[in-house]
Structure 1
């Protein structure tokens, strides 16, 4: 199920924005994009998301902006030492090859990435900052869940209408069975007369048996009864609480199986047309079900 929510926050000069987006997926795939230094909350984020979502690919992003007035440059001595050693090695190797490098200035060393870092002077507040950011994530997750629920209500209405269409087409199929039966009998009798006229010594018992088999094979009441049962099952699913996507996906496969069998057995123009309309509605339903959690 698709969804989107975002929420911004601030704590002691640090600003952030949470964003959650989801697209359809058969299972649950939670993907996070967190800034450096916030990896510790990834487990929390994924666990909370798994409680709220059952299906879909959920992309979660956190953007952090440190206020310039509350940040201070900090010298990373370890990185500086590494850069100095690298410069010394480069100078020695150059001299060994008869080359003379320009004098390295302090500003050159400080301009190397990682030597100077911007950090908040209030390091003791890091735990409080992360706690506040985690609290905001729960808020944006609630908004995200509500957005998905709104879409779910819309999908429920669409699916309910499609189930009604299937029920109507199923009843139309039942209504024309008598007419179909009369035409089928006429066709059987005509074919029997042709066989009797063009064949000698026909085994009437065997012929009767074959006709009975044909009659059973052309009977579609079982398919119509199963379609009715599937309609009832679909309505129960739409009333259910919690995730229903996987079950509904399976049910649409059952709907499609009965519609295919109905078309193959039809032997009647009107019934074939209804079967094709059924398949169209079921295909539309299957597309919608992919959006259901």
Structure 2
């Protein structure tokens, strides 16, 4: 399964009968899945189905989903107010001996307010069902386009992340191989420091000093940190290769990378190791920043 970025854009448009519709989707980073739908009045009935289809496709990201519709031509129908017409006809009969009994003309009836109303014709249930199906099919296509764009960006992010992981591994190896970590080098430095202390204070307990020096040397050893960094490097590569929604797991690994680099800097007894630890922190920050874009 491929990695997916959380950023992307997609647009799909089409027609259904005399209706023209268009979906526009935008996706950005988010801790979870937050879909905000903007549907035209009268099409709110599509929201539940639309949300389900979005959730079936994605697990993370803030999505802005908008639908616009327009009709190529309006269909108008005349609606006769039967009660008003009956009232007018009854009044005409009542006044038959008073006014001209000539038949009522259509233009006369149309001029009487409330007799005939003109409004846009309503779609049949069959036409509405077809419209809904066409619009939802358009949403499915737009979601597919968005998913493909997120995958393309995810592949690019994967290459960037693998580059950062390779740099972390190289810096870890540099720390591991630094001459200052050899037992002989550590012993030499401690011996020199002990010699300075003992020359200046003859009353100090030599055995106690040597025991403390041994403890300091043990605490200064970076073997555990190096081993954990190597394990995290392997885990990161496995997750990137596995793909799918692994953004949270990689973010956790970034925190672990940072923890080990901090410890290396605090334990360091050589400028080269400190410099490598600082460089590790920089690369790890870059790694974590890119991970924030992954689903």
> How would you bin the TM-score normalised by the shorter chain?
0.7 to 0.9
SS in 1 for 2:41: coil
Deviation at 1:74, TM superposition (A): 8.0
Distance 1:212 1:183 in 2: 13
SS in 1 for 2:31: coil
Equivalent position of 2:267 in the other structure? 265
**Pair 1:116–1:42, CA change in 2 (3 A):** farther
Q: Larger Cα Rg: Structure 1 or Structure 2?
A: 2
**Pair 1:19–1:56, CA change in 2 (3 A):** same
- What is the count of residue pairs matched by the alignment? 258
Equivalent position of 1:63 in the other structure? 68
Distance 1:254 1:74 in 2: 73
Equivalent position of 1:256 in the other structure? 258
Instruction: Flag structure 2 segments of 5+ consecutive residues without an equivalent.
Output: 1-5, 82-112
Cα deviation code 1:25-83 (max 9, x no counterpart): 1111111111111111111111111111111101111001122x2443788x9xxxxxx
Matches within 5 A, 1:232-243: 232-243=234-245
Distance 1:121 1:264 in 2: 74
For the aligned residue pairs, the C-alpha RMSD in angstroms reads 2.5
Equivalent position of 2:178 in the other structure? 176
Stretch of structure 1 that moved more, 146-155 or 186-195: 186-195
The structure with higher relative contact order (CA 8 Å, sep 6+) is 2
Q: Is the 8 A contact 1:32 1:61 kept in 2?
A: yes
SS in 2 for 1:15: strand
Distance 2:57 2:204 in 1: 71
Equivalent residue for 2:127, pick from 107, 125, 128:
125
Deviation at 1:177, TM superposition (A): 4.0
**Pair 1:10–1:267, CA change in 2 (3 A):** same
Is 1:290 the counterpart of 2:295? The answer is: no
Distance 1:163 1:55 in 2: 24
Matches within 5 A, 1:81-230: 118=120, 120-122=122-124, 124-178=126-180, 181-230=183-232
Equivalent position of 2:106 in the other structure? none
Equivalent residue for 1:40, pick from 45, 51, 58:
45
TM-score by length of 2: 0.81
Instruction: Flag structure 1 segments of 5+ consecutive residues without an equivalent.
Output: 78-108
Q: Is the 8 A contact 1:180 1:268 kept in 2?
A: no
TM-score by length of 1: 0.81
SS in 2 for 1:211: helix
Q: Is the 8 A contact 1:27 1:56 kept in 2?
A: yes
Is 1:29 the counterpart of 2:34? The answer is: yes
Q: Is the 8 A contact 1:9 1:16 kept in 2?
A: yes
SS in 2 for 1:54: coil
Equivalent position of 1:72 in the other structure? 76
Q: Is the 8 A contact 2:180 2:269 kept in 1?
A: no
Q: Is the 8 A contact 2:76 2:118 kept in 1?
A: no
Equivalent residue for 1:10, pick from 2, 15, 25:
15
Deviation at 1:200, TM superposition (A): 3.7
